[in-house]
């Protein structure tokens, strides 16, 4: 099973609720898309900051999962978001997570969220804890 197939078949209920769709995945990057719906918006018909953060968290956690040793899990320790522009309702956003650090106990990923036209909406840096079994 490929990394992309693993992500597409993993139970991620909140990601499914948001309709996050994984597009590409390997150990070096994960890319997913999200169409901005009214339910994800704040005033002015633009995507809510929390929805952007949840989108990035999903993609970064998925990227971490592809780099874990067998039986290990992950949880987010810290996340920092720079909001740079609006994502209007109807826009197809693309999030791409790439590694900054992949250690034994933590991993740090940077996720760029852009419009389909390449306009940068947000940059998220998150630290994921590696949870070893037992």
Q: Examine the pLDDT at 134 and tell me if it is beyond 90.
A: no
Helices (H) and strands (E) in the chain, counts: 3, 8
Domain span at residue 52? 3-131
Domain of 91, CATH number, reads 3.10.129.10
Residue 78 — very low, low, confident or very high, per pLDDT cuts 50/70/90?
Answer: very high
What average pLDDT does the segment 8-14 reach?
A: 89
DSSP assignments along 52-115, one per residue: HHHHHHHHHHHHHHTTSPTT-EEEEEEEEEEE-S--BTT-EEEEEEEEEEE-SSEEEEEEEEEE
pLDDT tens digits, one per residue of 26-36: 999 999 999 99
Instruction: Tell me how far apart the alpha carbons of residues 86 and 48 are, in angstroms, rounded to a whole number.
Output: 9
Instruction: Please state the domain count of the chain.
Output: 1
pLDDT at 53 over 90: yes
pTM: 0.95
């Amino acid at each position: 099973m490929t990394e992309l197939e693993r992500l597409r078949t993993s139970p991620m209920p909140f990601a499914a609720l948001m309709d996050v769709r994984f597009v590409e995945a390997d150990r070096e990057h994960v890319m997913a898309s999200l169409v901005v719906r009214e339910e994800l918006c704040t005033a002015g018909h633009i995507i809510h900051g929390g929805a952007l953060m949840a989108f990035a968290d999903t993609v970064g956690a998925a990227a971490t999962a592809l780099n874990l040793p067998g039986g290990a899990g992950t949880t987010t320790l810290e996340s920092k978001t720079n909001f740079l522009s609006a994502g209007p309702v109807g826009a197809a956003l693309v999030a791409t997570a790439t590694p900054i650090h992949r250690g034994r106990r933590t991993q740090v990923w940077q996720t760029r969220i852009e419009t389909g036209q390449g306009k940068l909406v947000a940059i998220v840096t998150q630290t994921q804890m590696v949870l070893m079994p037992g």
